[in-house]
Amino acid sequence: MIYSFLEHLGNYFIFLRRVFSRPEKWSEFFKKMIDEMYAMGVGSLIIVMIVSTAMGSVITLQTSLQVESSWIPSWTIGFTVRTSVIMELCPTIISLLLVGNLGSRITAEIGSMRVTEQIDALEVMGINPASYLVLPKILASFIVNPALILISIFFALFGGYLTVLATGYISVYDYVDGLTSFFRMYDVWYALTKTVIFGFIITSVAAFYGYKIEGGALELGKANTQGVVVASFFVLILNLLITNIMLN
């Protein structure tokens, strides 16, 4: 099992070496990157908004039910929600959501090109298919994923606002006061740093599993599942490592 893991890891780094090479045509490269940014952003926006709003509502409701002591100021609820949403829930949970949404799409797209021999055709024409197909996706994720996380943070806090407004556990003023109390910009940079790294893992791992397919539709389905599982695993492991590095 260890040998198989090391073999896959070595093949992954060899694949990345091919990906990060100079594009043949910069104009075509930027066009593909813009197209990928649009597909990634628009394709994920609605689900990110819905999940973030629900997540913010739930964490606000749970925090409100737990904080019942008169010794604890009411603004603590907003402060706890903001800290949880920015530092952990949105960067990690939404990234795991994007693994299934973006990652599976990338694996299916590149895998279908491998199965139908379109990648072989690019190689025959003298084009590096790894760089041509994957590099625009990776660079697009560096822009799109942080933007999606910022949007998710806004809607999560807005979901908490709606919950406070509907339940009346605390006043809206206390909730907003908690959101602004002891705010550190470093928390946002910490979240965005994680998001950029997660975006790289999601796109590169998904593309790797699609690129190395050998077979037909059955192997494509297996590669899709493997890509989602492996990318999710590395997102969780890197989340732990980044937290230890940046918050210690």
Q: Whole-angstrom Cα distance, residue 248 to residue 242?
A: 10
From residue 43, give the alpha-carbon distance in Å to each of 16, 35, 97, 98, 105: 25, 12, 12, 10, 10
From residue 111, give the alpha-carbon distance in Å to each of 13, 115, 214: 19, 6, 9
Give Cβ neighbours of residue 223 (< 8 Å, ≥ 6 apart). Answer: 107, 111, 209, 210, 212, 213
The pLDDT of residue 129 is 87
The pLDDT of residue 8 is 81
What average pLDDT does the chain have? 88
Amino acid at site 211:
Y
Residue 41, pLDDT above cutoff 90: no
At residue 37's C-alpha, the angle toward residues 115 and 97, to 5°, is 75
The pLDDT of residue 69 is 63
| Overall size of the chain counted in residues | 248
Amino acid at site 234:
F
pLDDT digits (tens, 9 = 90+) for 179-201: 888 888 999 999 999 999 999 99
Mean pLDDT in residue range 124-145: 89
The pLDDT of residue 1 is 63
Mean pLDDT in residue range 88-94: 91
pLDDT confidence band for 124 (50 / 70 / 90)? confident
pLDDT confidence band for 248 (50 / 70 / 90)? confident
Q: Whole-angstrom Cα distance, residue 140 to residue 237?
A: 23
Q: Which of 138, 119, 135 is nearest to 197 (CA)?
A: 138
Lowest mean pLDDT among 122-126, 129-133, 201-205: 122-126
